[in-house]
Chain A
Amino acid sequence: MKNGFTNGIVRLREKLEAACSEVLARSDDDNGFIRKERERAMASFKRLGFPTQAMEAWRSTDLTATLAQDYRIFTEAPETGQDIGQIFQCDIHHLDTDLVTLLNGWYVDHGQAIRQLSCGTVVGSLAAARLAYPALFEAHYGRQADVAAGGLNAINGAFALDGVFVYVPDGVTAGKTVQIVNIINSDENIMIQPRNLVILGKGSKLQLVHCDHSVRHKRSFINSVSELFIGEEAVLDHYKLQNKDNDSAQVTSAFFEQQSGSRLSSTVITLNGGIIRNNLHVKLSGPGCDASLHGLYLVDREQHVDNKIVVDHMAPDCVSRQLYKGIIDDQAMAVFNGYVHVARDAQRTNAYQNNRNILLTDKATVHTQPHLEIYADDVKCSHGATVGQLDPEAMFYMRARGIREDTSRMLMMYAFAADVINHIRIHPVRHQIDEMVYRRLRGELSVCDQCILDCNAQRPQVFEIDLNKI
């Protein structure tokens, strides 16, 4: 550990432990379940501590400077002050869509902590859902996100104070896309730990878009954990859009569990951010599941993005596909670590893994490590990784047609990225992300363009999107 940061890291650890004790002492709304979970998580954190580069899973991502910052840690919903109305005002015409907002990690309830949508889907605050649906909550909470697996998972579990809860009952097709907007708005450095739980009943369908948004903030550290259960024959389309500023650090962990015959399509688009680590864990528990995991990262300057993916084929006849592509500019660094595990009984597994990167400068770095571990004998698996530059022959070909060099480069980068964007199944979202990627590659995208909704009232609304038409 680098000298000089040590004190800061010790301070954060002590702060977190003290804050957790405070939460545990305040047992007013606890029925015992969550208290046990928190205690277990805290014990685990005390044992594991924060990740360091000495750990294989964190070899290429250094959180030292992030952990050494002095953050405010909330143990209850902070006073939100005057801003709330203003933040949302510009979106009034969108609010009748299934928009869910987290402000600094806390559910913004608009007077309704849980609401049931006309289609039957329940969306609301995790804290409220714990009390309103204890059986459902306890059957799913903490099942996937193993607190023993890592210090940051553990510390998230030690709080688990709030976040988003989505429940789609059996056979229900969620009518509109549910969109989670995670807003950071603070005058102080803050560390937040949202905890989300998404449950799809048998044969249900949900499209979920998850955006991160900063309005006004100092340095922030987000350590989020999401658990997503996809019941038998259910279908989940999950999109995550990250466009944070360079002072932010974000560790997101999403744990998906798929029951038999279910389908998951996950797309993670990283357009900007200081340090980003995305853990994606997909457990294929029942036969006949299909999981498509797509990712696109466009990083420059000193940015760092790390995608760690684990696909666990536990049952036969499942298909998983990973396609992650990245363009790395300046001194930025990207890490891809994809691991596919095929259990002994998971016969007739098809698993594909592909990571492709373009390095635009000599100082840009990518660490890519596709990895297969197969214990079944009747499987089709492939993995591959490429790191390259833009094809100079193609560049010449385009310029020989009169296309300027910068435009040629842009077209090629855009084409490279389009491969991932074209997998987005919600048409307006695809169109939107397409536009954002285009602008990002042209260097025109600002960090204000955080999400599909572009909430910032100070700016003219550049992106016209009507979620009603989804």
Chain B
Amino acid sequence: MGEFIGLSIAGLSLGAIYAIAASGLVVTYTTSGVFNFAHGAVGMLMAFLYWQLRVQDHWSAPAALVLTLLVAAPALGLVLERGLISRLNVNDTGTMLIVTVAVMVALMGIAYVIWPPSIGRLLPMFFGPNGHVSVDGELVSYEELISIGLAIATALGLRLFFHNTRTGVAMRGVVDDRQLMAMNGRSPQVLNALSWMIGAGFGALAGILTASTYSLDVINLTLLILNAFAAAMLGRLRNLPLTFVGAVVLGLADAYVTGYVRLTGWLVELVPVLPTLFLFIVLLALPAVRLRAGRAAVSKAIHVPSAGASLRNGVVLVVVAALIAPFMHGIALGNVNEGAALGIGALSIVLLSGYGGQLSFAQYAFFGFGAWLFRVLGHGGNPWALLVAAGAGALIGALMALPALRLRGLELALSTLAFGTLAWYMFLSQPQIIGGGDVTIPRLHLPGLSLQNDRVNLVFLAVVFALLSAGVLAIRRSRFGRILVATRDSDTACATLGLNLRLTKVALFALASAIATFGGAIYGSTQMIVTNTDFEYVSSLFIVLIVYVWGISTPGGALAGGMSLALAPLVEVHIPVRFQALTYFMTGLGALTILATPEGIVPLVSERLRRLNPLIGLRSRHTRDMSVGNEQLLARVEVSRATPADA
């Protein structure tokens, strides 16, 4: 009995932390319409700040709490909302999500640089090591009771705020009708900012409680967002009471499974994926979301090269690879090979997100799956294994998408991250699959080619990338490609024209997953030695972020993204260890170029180049007029409207 009570209290206290974290997420989302991926990272940074004040600078606990919770966290929330979020279109879910991922990465960089992870840090318990009571022989720490108490206070406080204050009532209404709220004299801008300040405050509280009850760790605290999200999904990110129910169920499940179930074999890693499993059950049980009109995303047209142009670009790429390969050696040669392989896999992101407008944060699960399949099937580097990998990837991709298709883009994207987490813990990390140690994968064998030589392999990868890019561009120019872009711009309109959206999305996910898995097999064959850390689920966030920055709608963006990821370590070795994490910060900061060029850097540069080069410019002027809308064209439209006689 004592054990049961002890476990229940531990579970409730964990659930309480989830509930506090999730409350912040829900408050921000309900009012501002933005899912803040950096919510966990904000809490993480604030927990480190609290440690700094409390432990390093010897502040008293109340003073440190007041400064972090009531000053620093709301200030950070305010800066994020005013500086970034308010400049974005709230209907552009993809860009919005990516920007908050960028913030998350930047905040992680800040934490790593100021508080290097090489030093262990402990937060003292609020009431010292003896701060506990005994319940039926089980020790229950004050920490746990404080968390539970604070969660109850949060629930009551938010209830009162949202129902009994005018500002709170207005915040509930703001997402549904901004203009109406504006007419009532409540500025949506002020309410949005307020919701981010409150959200950050709860994130900070959850971060500090996690740090003092469990551990002060950048990754763990940042990923608290996943558990908070799982809890909040029960209330579809909007309903606070259901969010609390979800949080408590998660906390108790964690405690009871840890306490009562002896986990052996492949179930050893069950506890960390409990929130993910919970999320999947919730997603399956939720009613399908209905299509809404009036939410069409505004996206710019991006130049789509013709078949001739894409082949020409491919030839240039292969020639460049052949020219530089003989001069490369050692680690750099290996990393460029790796970058090319990642670029091939990243083409899946161009198709899925660039054209289809769907975000997936599970790409590395497919990379890992492909690498494993090539290991198992590619005896002697058998090239047929690549095709089997692509086919199997398509199947898994379709299965992953099926339950999630009833959801909005945001929910779908987040559930792919859940899928990636599950795949990493329950599949890729199993010792008989890839596991934590080195496993060897054969190099691809093609008759007549000595691909064992990394220089030859590099040229081969360039050929594969060029062909696959041409294929992806051919899809874009096809009927299916136009339909994909149409669903991205307005899925509601597509449905009213007779398109079966679910079928289209399943096909899209299947195709993109086939490319990702194929790319993973190529990656495995290129690396030849891999461990499960090569496919960590968090990496999926990074690759999508980086490809987004370079240009999500162009194969060039995929290649630049893959290269950035693979070549970053070459740069990092020249940076003092203390500041290596600045690459995180710079990545996050660099990602904010999205604000200026949502289409990405590659399309921007190639457009500039086309304009600079009079020869190319002349040739492509026609197509530019066709696809790229600009002020001049608009002016011309107006002029020709005014003079109908000229037709």
Chain B binds chain A: no
